[in-house]
Amino acid sequence: MATNRKSKKKPLWTRDFAVTSLSNLLLFFSFQLLIPTIPLYAAGIGGGQTQIGLAMGTFTVASLLTRPFAGKALDTIGRRHVLSAGLALCGLAVLGYSAAAVVAMLLALRFIHGIGWGISTTSLGTVISDIVPSERRGEGMGIYGLSNTMAMALAPLTGLWIAAEYGFHPLFIFSTVLAFSALLLSLFIRSERKKPPASSGPFSWRGFRKGLIEPGALLPSLLLFCTAVCYGGIVTFLTLFGKEASIGNVGWFFVCNAVMLLITRPLTGLVYDRKGPAWVLFPGAFFTGAGLWLLSYAHSASSLAAAAAVFGAGFGSVQPALLAWTIDRTAPSRRGAANSTFYSANDLGIGTGSMLLGAFASLVGSYGAAYRWSVLLIVLLIVIYSVYLLLTRRKSTQLKAA
């Protein structure tokens, strides 16, 4: 009887899991409302192309710079206070957008928002890592990621509709309400609070600096970087690719991609828990690469939708599997640093794809050709992971022989 109790799976859908996932959904919805609308608002208050680019880039830079310190704080100060501070910064920054009458003020608020975003998303990822049972980590991370997917699918169109029908100020108020609702919900999370580790000596800058990055997260983060560069190139230049390929409505790509993410993430999470990361990463990488290849040859809305479905099946499998694998490779006391390392790689990859793919498209002659060449990044992912498995297997064989 005791054996049956031990072998029984721990529940996944606890109150903390639901509250954390809902808080994440509200935060991402608040953020995604602004993705297509902030450039329009910046243009409306006198911003040129350079200033609009800075408004988007400043946010990413602030987030990227903040994440390592947020991870360190999560592992030393504790989860709740860091999460609350990040969510409060997000809400206050978005509230301030309504008062931004000049581009300089908007840029300052974007920087503050980026800091809050880096803290909040790293904190929520760490909290959910504490909550999900280890034997259901793949499934849990996949389902948790659906909150991001739902926001990506619905919020941009909602933001554009609110801005067109009611104006930017009601849009910012709505986004602010969502951010503060996420903060309010987070106060009801009762996950285990991690106590700061006892100090082993006087402060050392070198020790602090080393603690910002989690070594166990570096390999999954490198693999994530490969996929994030591809995704950054897609989201930034898909509209221009649509014009190049004479495809009228590229919005279908994001809809079909989101639908496939909703389908694949829970299923591949179960496969991860039962079979391990290799059974998800290899097929996921194949579908991601195939989706990029199909996208590069898309010439109609239907072929674009097909490419989106294939890409979504792969991308929706790889990302949560890599996050679950990151947590599996990390001690509980270092999950904050691990999540910051992981999400920093995602930010850096998307930013790199956004900056480089346009220049590369000019070099190779078209966005379609650039998407085809980006398949090599997925090939690189497969090669790196294969080498890792080979070296791990060889090391295990040598240990057994000894």
pLDDT recorded at residue 376: 96
How many CA within 13 A on the CB side of residue 140? 27
Instruction: Quote the pLDDT of residue 3.
Output: 42
pLDDT at residue 17, rounded to an integer: 93
Contact status, residue 74 vs residue 123, Cβ threshold 8 Å: yes
How far apart CA 291 and CA 278 sit, in angstroms, is 20
* Residues 261-293: tens digit of each pLDDT: 888 988 898 999 999 999 999 999 999 999 999
Residues 6+ apart with CB under 8 A from 187: 84
Sign of torsion, CA 273 274 275 280?
Answer: negative
Q: What pLDDT, on the 0 to 100 scale, is given for residue 192? A: 54
Angle at 312 between CA 306 and CA 315, to 5 degrees: 140
User: How crowded is residue 354: how many other Cβ atoms within 10 Å of its Cβ?
Assistant: 21
Using CB atoms within 10 Å of the CB of residue 306, give its burial: 0 to 12 exposed, 13 to 18 middle, 19+ buried.
middle
Q: Do 13-188 and 213-402 fold alike per CATH?
A: yes
The fold for domain 213-402 equals: Growth Hormone; Chain: A; (1.20.1250)
Q: How many other β-carbons are positioned within 10 Å of the β-carbon of residue 122? A: 31
Q: Around Cβ 218, how many Cβ atoms within 10 Å? A: 16
pLDDT at 254 (0 to 100): 80
Per-residue pLDDT, 313:
94
pTM of the model: 0.79
- Asked if residue 72 lies in contact with residue 196, where contact means CB atoms within 8 angstroms, the answer is no
Is residue 319 within 8 Å of residue 348, measured between CB atoms?
no
Domain boundaries along the sequence of the chain: 13-188, 213-402
Q: What is the pLDDT of residue 236?
A: 74
Could you write out the DSSP letters of every residue in 123-139? Answer: HHHHHHHHHS-GGGHHH
Percentages helix, strand, coil for the chain, rounded to the nearest 5? 85, 0, 15
Q: 114 and 60 in contact (C-beta within 8 Å)? A: yes
Domain 13-188 indexed as CATH 1.10.645.10:
no
Under-50 pLDDT residues of the chain:
1-7, 194, 198-205, 207-208
